[in-house]
Amino acid sequence: MSLTPAPSEFHIRALLPTDLDDVVSIDTAVEGRSRRAYIERRLQAAIADPASHAQFAAVRDSGELVGFMLARRVAGEFGRSTASVRIELLGQRVGQAHQGIGRSLFEAVAGWSRRHDAAELRTLSDWSRSGLLGWLAAMGFELAPELVLEGGVADSPLYQDRDGPLSIDTAEGPGGEVDFGRDEGNDQERHSRHGAQVQAMTAADLDAIVRIDRENTGRDRRDYLSARLAEAEQQRSIRASLVARCDGTVVGYLMARADLGDFGRAEPVAVIDTLGVDAGYAQRGVGHALMAQLFANLGALRVDRVETAVPLTNSRLLSFLVSCGLHRSRHLAFRRTL
């Protein structure tokens, strides 16, 4: 009688660019489709900004890569005061279950998070993915006190009420290098909506954004906002950040990004990270102007859905987003305190 050899031991190490093919292979087997462009972009982002990205691989002593986990440090979305690490992608080679691979990867990310002053881990999951939900429970995650909202761009009343089609370059589709901030020199980005002039965010807008955010939150979050603005400048293909002007000054801002694969998504989605409006311009349609322009840009670029996670305590923001056409998502938000 022959016995199947026991699998060799594994160790955890940082994910390397040379691991791309193995990661794509595992992810394709799990998801049933290839997300190579998205995974390659995440690996490149980690190389460019290692302090904000935790990416680990589980490797057998034989050299076989059998699992991976990709996470990103975030801080400040919708006024949050503490930093967290968001698990965006994880996978394990088929047939390698119940060997401690997922737990070891989780512990590596948790240790990295503590070293980078993160108070908790966060992630999302579709409510129907029972296997992932069970793993999250085993790792000590609990439902987060926030609501995940989503909506179809074309379904929003703000998109349906737009003033005709916008002139935006659509040479590249979702998953390619579409430029959310293209400037052709003829004011294509400046569209007057709801009494506000909305355009792509630039570095010159930082001081005004910090001022508005400080007035709304009572804290100076220049570092967080500066980092998001720098990301918008460097990665226009996956950022969609806007400012609104009235009377010649910045009175509102919206920061969003296009996620083309994390949490098992099958289609591109724009994720709203944060938005703010000058208190002196409240109830003047500034927030709706920003959202209208975001929907218009995304519609032209064939990104069909918008998503965001909002603390349950922020009832005003929840009501505002519902008025823009968003509704409760199939995704649930989870957190694990460190």
Q: Would you state the pLDDT for residue 176?
A: 33
Band (pLDDT 50/70/90 cuts) for residue 265 is low
Q: Would you state the pLDDT for residue 186?
A: 36
pLDDT for 105 beyond 90: yes
Q: How many CB atoms lie within 10 A of CB 154?
A: 13
Band (pLDDT 50/70/90 cuts) for residue 191 is very low
* Same fold? 10-118, 149-330: yes
Three-class secondary structure of residue 15 per DSSP: coil
Q: What average pLDDT does the structure give for the chain? A: 81
H helices within 2-138, ranges in order? 20-31, 36-48, 101-115, 130-138
Angle, helices 222-234/206-217, rounded to nearest 10 degrees: 140
Strands 196-200 and 191-193, by their bridges, are antiparallel
Q: Where are the domains of the chain?
A: 10-118, 149-330
pLDDT for 132 beyond 70: yes
Q: Would you state the pLDDT for residue 140?
A: 97
The answer to whether 307 touches 153, Cβ cutoff 8 Å, is no
Closest CA to 53 of 101, 92, 86: 86
Distances (CA, A) of 85 to 38, 112, 264, 272, 337: 19, 9, 18, 17, 10
Identify the residue whose tokens are 């390397």: 16
pLDDT for 45 beyond 60: yes
298 vs 114: CA distance, rounded Å: 36
Q: Would you state the pLDDT for residue 169?
A: 33
Mean pLDDT of 7-19: 88
CATH number assigned to the domain covering 149-330: 3.40.630.30
Mean pLDDT of 185-190: 39
Closest CA to 64 of 32, 101, 37: 101
pLDDT for 175 beyond 50: no
Ranked by mean pLDDT, which of 135-144, 267-276, 300-309 comes out on top? 135-144
Mean pLDDT of 199-217: 91
Which residue pairs from 68-72 have beta carbons closer than 8 angstroms and sit at least 24 positions apart in sequence?
68/15, 68/19, 68/23, 68/26, 68/105, 69/105, 69/106, 69/108, 69/109, 70/15, 70/39, 70/42, 70/46, 71/109, 71/112, 71/113, 71/121
pLDDT for 221 beyond 60: yes
Q: Would you state the pLDDT for residue 77?
A: 66
- What are the phi and psi torsion angles at 309 (to 5°)? -120, 125
Q: Would you state the pLDDT for residue 267?
A: 65
The answer to whether 286 touches 277, Cβ cutoff 8 Å, is yes
Q: Topology of domain 10-118, per CATH?
A: Aminopeptidase (3.40.630)
Q: Percentage of the chain surpassing pLDDT 90?
A: 43
pLDDT tens digits, residue range 268-300?
A: 788 898 889 999 998 888 999 999 999 988 887
Q: Percentage of the chain surpassing pLDDT 70?
A: 80
pLDDT tens digits, residue range 50-87?
A: 888 999 999 998 999 999 999 988 876 665 667 899 99
Q: Would you state the pLDDT for residue 99?
A: 85
